[in-house]
Amino acid sequence: MIAVVTATANEMRAAFPDAPVPAQGQAVEYTFGGRGLLLAVTGVGVVNAALSAGRLLAGRTLEGAVNLGIAGAYDPDEYPLLSTCYAWQETWPEYGLLDEEGGVDPRGIGFPQGEAGGKPVWNRVKLNPVNDAAAMGLGLADGWLRASGVTVSGVTGTPERAGWLKMSCNADMENMEGFALAYAFIQAGLPFLEVRTLSNLVGSRDSGDWEMKGALKALEGAATTLFSG
């Protein structure tokens, strides 16, 4: 069985319109495309994501995990809104030693968060989306974009902050759960895939830079491609 995790109930409903939607922190079994799935809604943010991952891993045998959801784009010219992306790395830029300019040195306090895949984890985990999708028997569409994810606890609200994150983290898309989920499932030795549709320009609160409804709608097509491809 593959765990399919979203942050919100709206994302789960969008991805699987006919599925039962679990309460936050809970999971329900669902068959889609002939596959047995375990659907879970984490709640927003890294703490909720980590708690849910722990619950999913406790006492279950999983084939792997997929994180579905929406994300912001740092550069819509390279990553147009409503595009579907899969992550090749996730960075949590808020772990480490904070300096007077707002930068964070992940090695500044001298303690890695732990290990994953036999390597220390500071503020970044590398993913293997093509190999992990194949290991779970899932399909990636040719038109999907390969993206570097950044996981934040506070949504980026200014162009200046967005520019700093893009430069310092090699950032393509912003979310609030990807790092925690990737770290948990990779640490458990399971294939992990993060697929997101792009809903907004990171750093802008202008409604003209947002396509939330369209991005949610695109999740259904992404799920169908993944589990029926």
Number of H helices, E strands in the chain: 6, 13
End-to-end CA distance of the chain: 17
Which pLDDT does position 103 carry in this prediction? 79
pTM of the model: 0.95
Q: What letter represents residue 147's amino acid?
A: A
Whole-angstrom distance, CA of residue 48 vs CA of residue 118: 25
d(CA 156, CA 164): 10
User: How would you write the pLDDT of the chain (229 residues) with one tens digit per residue?
Assistant: 999 999 999 999 999 999 999 999 999 999 998 899 999 999 999 999 999 999 999 988 999 999 999 999 999 999 999 999 999 999 999 999 988 777 788 999 999 999 988 889 999 999 999 999 999 999 999 999 999 999 999 999 999 999 999 999 999 999 999 999 999 999 999 999 999 999 999 999 999 999 999 999 999 999 999 998 6
Note down the domain range covering 130: 2-228
Distance in angstroms (rounded) separating the CA atoms of residues 215 and 208: 14
pLDDT at 22: 96
Q: Which pLDDT score, from 0 to 100, does residue 102 have?
A: 74
H or E element that contains 11: helix 9-15
Cα–Cα dist 37/66, whole Å: 10
DSSP-assigned beta bridge partners for residue 69: 196
Q: List the CATH number of the domain containing 95.
A: 3.40.50.1580
Count of domains in the chain? 1
Query: Which of 132, 141, 129, 136 minimizes the C-alpha distance to 225?
Result: 141
The dihedral of CA 164, 111, 148, 70: what is its sign? negative
